[in-house]
Amino acid sequence: MKKCEDVSKQLIAYLDRRANSAERHEVEEHLAACSACHQRAEDFRKLWGVLDEVPLVEPSLGFDARIRARIAEEPRRGWLGWLVPQPRLAFAMALLLALSVWMAKLPREGNVAGTEQQDFEAIKDLGVLENYDVLSKFDALSEVPVEAAPADQQAQPVNPANDQQPATEE
């Protein structure tokens, strides 16, 4: 027969009905022969009933409103945000869009020299944004490959052990 100490580890699983049949048998055999452990098992059952007496506290009425307000303060993501995974990427794309609009509005007639100069400036800047090497080194894009990585590489998305959610830098 098992010793009291060995049974103690199995006792909780036995009482909450999560022990397998072999463990159940061992514990039952011990309880039938050991009055101390038998009493302990009885007491644990009663104890769990006692612990159930503690009523739940309800969150205060303003709880939901408060968390929603805090979430509303979080950096928002507009329609562009839902197309791309990172807010800063969305910002970069918005800049590109704004630049395109600005270019489209450039005067096509009139002061030819001025227009050419403006076009040159615009295209020069656009070149940077269209340059893949620059884009790929652009800080805002650094997290994008992570999003596309295979699931096993992000198997543990969050490490609450150090209490910080990863890669959420906004």
Partner 1 sequence: MEHTQTLQLYGTAGVRYNVGAMTRSDVQLMLDVKAGDEASFNLLLQKYRTPLVNFLYRMVRNTGTAEDLAQEVFLRVYRARKQYSPSAKFTTWLFRIATNLALNSLRDNRYRQMDVSIDAPVEEDAAPLQLPARELRIDEKMIERDRSEFIRRAIAALPEKQRVAVLLHKYEEMDYGEIAKILECSESALKSLLFRAYETLRVQLAPLVSQSVANRAREGRPS
Shortest spacing between CB 31 and Zn ion, in angstroms: 8
Q: Is residue 120 involved in binding partner 1 (CB under 8 A)?
A: no
Shortest spacing between CB 4 and partner 1, in angstroms: 11
| Of residues 34 and 129, the one with the C-beta less far from Zn ion | 34
Cβ partners under 8 Å of residue 157, min gap 6: 166
b/e map of 137-151 (b: 16 or more CB within 10 Å)? ebebbebeeeeeeee
Q: Is residue 4 involved in binding Zn ion (CB under 5 A)?
A: yes
Q: Is residue 167 involved in binding partner 1 (CB under 8 A)?
A: yes
Cβ partners under 8 Å of residue 166, min gap 6: 157, 158, 159
Taking CB under 5 A as the rule, which mask of x and - marks residues 11-50 in contact with Zn ion?
A: -----------------------x--x-------------
Residue 34 partner contact from partner 1, Zn ion, none using kind-dependent CB cut-offs of 5 to 8 Å:
Zn ion
- Residue 90's nearest CA partner among 100, 78, 98, 106 is 78
Angle of helix 4-15 versus helix 35-51 axis, rounded to 10: 30
- Provide the phi-psi class of 17: left if phi over 0, else alpha when psi is between -120 and 50, else beta: left
Contact between 116 and 104 under an 8 Å Cβ cutoff? The reply is no
Residue numbers 134-153 binding partner 1 by CB under 8 A: 147, 151
Q: State how far the Cα of 40 lies from the Cα of 8, in Å rounded to an integer.
A: 10
| Of residues 131 and 154, the one with the C-beta less far from partner 1 | 154
Binding footprint of Zn ion on the chain (CB under 5 A)? 4, 34, 37
Q: Binding residues for partner 1, per CB under 8 A?
A: 8-13, 16, 18, 40, 43-44, 46-60, 63-64, 66-68, 70-71, 74, 77, 81-82, 85-86, 147, 151, 154-158, 160-161, 163, 165-168
